A and B are shown apart, each in its own frame.
Chain A
């Protein structure tokens, strides 16, 4: 198991390294000189030149490339041109808000999607199955920003059940949680549908397996067969899907944070793009990439922990 986990981690590091290279090339290809863009049109050539030197832009490309990696490994993502604050600080300050949003988005998807999918599979063809089927397609089809806007209108503006904007009082956990409810629903609702469909399909397949027939022939209780024998197998592909889902949720988080005026990485990137604050954009993208890869490595390791076949195939 340990060997398997280490391999997955190694793969994760390789992916992050590649992603960083792509990111570097993309920054390099952006038209315009980052220094003059950062300083705006009224900067003197001397000021621009001074900033170029400070940002290392006067160096050869390969050296810039190397510096990009070396400082990223040290946790140095550069400094914001105007405020002079380290980009890493700015990004990490916002990260917890987005993390909370995504974790609760996943919680919706898991807490609703898995039981609904399992129910639909066990009662295949029933009214419940058809309702779950229609609803999952519906929630998958609706874009998350539409969910965000309607959730805001219905629950915050009309019904006034839940707060409309912000992230809640710092330190007041309950308040933060109520502020999280609507945005996380916006981020996670589509994934309730995805997960439900995925679990239903893999559950139907698992229930067809001959070991399920063996379990029935041994007279095992149907509940045990459904949850321990079939669902345990059926959730494995779902875990991998959830890892990918985090990537999608990161992009939905941008909308959710804007609509609900929440702090977070999405809002940060949005604001930074508007004022062309490229170091912050780069830093935020890098941090979310690392986060996304970490989540997927974790999902893989979890699948390995739950599936002995994967473990021994890839581990030893």
Chain B
């Protein structure tokens, strides 16, 4: 059963230069207790995807089509503010990229953790006890006395662990992590990833994990979706994608520096060319101008081709590429 299933999600922003399609018919699902990775270059729509799921799109943004369903079948795109708020922090929790800014600087950690539990019919002391327990789980030393401290009194790694503790405190079905480790140095990153994995197993929640790190994705995730210019160009099980990519974009990502994928230090490699202006999308494949395999038929909109079990690529050449490589 799926904790989250996104179907044909399209998001557009109204901008002075016209409508900008930031997500283009995005589809994927996150199975119960699974970890789904999301990779893609900067500006490909990763944060937009999260905001659309959370119902927190900027004022000029709008979901123009598609559905986002929870496990109970409810479509998040149809819910009102109050219903969405009831889901946020309760059934879907989020850890954001910037550990420095993610916590309120003038409220104590204890206060912020208490506020998150505002829905629970517990006393202040009981809520604090839960907070302490959660901080202990993320290995904050001496959590009782640190509850009264403020964010600036913690190191960056600690702050990110506190943010994780906060996100998991209500035992959500789905944890969204938007590049939770990008701001941390390599050793801290490893520790944080391991901690996240451990807690995920404990709580049994599903995770939508966004990262620039192919290595981290390979390490942590069960499946992955590859995004390019607002489209999911390929999705599938982690092994399939890494060993038998069906989309030329994924191929290029992996080819660029395959040896470093397992080193964790490998940042998303760069591909010649730039992401096109999303306000003027071409009729055909949006990757075609940068694609080393582009053909005349790529001027037509490419289909989402099923290449194998759970493996889909938005490319005219998809099945053929895989066969050719096989």
Of A30-38, A264-272, A303-311, which stretch is located at the interface?
A303-311
The range of chain A's interface size is 20 to 34
Question: B residues within 8 A CB of A221?
Answer: 85, 118
Of B69-77, B103-111, B122-130, which stretch is located at the interface?
B103-111
Is there contact, CB below 8 Å, between A229 and B88?
Answer: no
- Residue from the list A217, A232, A236, A312 in contact with B94, Cβ < 8 A: A217
Q: List residues of B (116-175) whose CB comes within 8 Å of A's CBs.
A: 116, 118, 150, 152-153, 163, 166
Question: B residues within 8 A CB of A217?
Answer: 54, 56, 88-89, 93-94, 96
Is there contact, CB below 8 Å, between B107 and A210?
Answer: no
Check if B101 is an interface residue, CB within 8 A of chain A: yes
Alpha-carbon gap, A214 to B108, bound state (A) = 15
B251 shortest CB reach to chain A, Å: 35
Is there contact, CB below 8 Å, between A309 and B101?
Answer: no
Check if A83 is an interface residue, CB within 8 A of chain B: no
Is there contact, CB below 8 Å, between B93 and A218?
Answer: yes
B259 shortest CB reach to chain A, Å: 35
Is there contact, CB below 8 Å, between B106 and A213?
Answer: no
- Residue from the list A216, A229, A309, A312 in contact with B56, Cβ < 8 A: A216
Check if B86 is an interface residue, CB within 8 A of chain A: yes
Check if A152 is an interface residue, CB within 8 A of chain B: no
Alpha-carbon gap, A33 to B84, bound state (A) = 78
A216 shortest CB reach to chain B, Å: 6
Check if B237 is an interface residue, CB within 8 A of chain A: no
Type the 1/0 row for A192-222, where 1 means its CB is closer than 8 Å to any CB of B. Answer: 0000000000000000011101111111110
Question: B residues within 8 A CB of A211?
Answer: 101-105
Question: A residues within 8 A CB of B88?
Answer: 216-219
Is there contact, CB below 8 Å, between B115 and A214?
Answer: no
A121 shortest CB reach to chain B, Å: 14
- Residue from the list A213, A219, A312 in contact with B90, Cβ < 8 A: A219
Alpha-carbon gap, A213 to B178, bound state (A) = 13
Q: Which among A210, A219, A220, A308 has the highest number of chain B CB atoms within 10 Å?
A: A219
The 30 sampled A-B contact pairs (Cβ below 8 Å) are: A210-B101, A210-B102, A213-B56, A214-B102, A214-B103, A214-B163, A216-B54, A216-B56, A217-B54, A217-B88, A217-B89, A217-B93, A217-B96, A218-B115, A219-B85, A219-B87, A219-B88, A220-B89, A220-B115, A220-B116, A220-B118, A221-B85, A224-B115, A229-B104, A232-B107, A306-B106, A307-B105, A307-B106, A308-B150, A309-B152
Q: Give B contacts to A, CB under 8 Å.
A: 54, 56, 84-90, 93-94, 96, 98, 101-108, 115-116, 118, 150, 152-153, 163, 166
Rank and list the top 10 A-B pairs by shortest CB-CB distance, nearest first: A218-B89, A219-B88, A219-B89, A210-B101, A308-B150, A217-B94, A219-B85, A211-B104, A214-B102, A218-B116
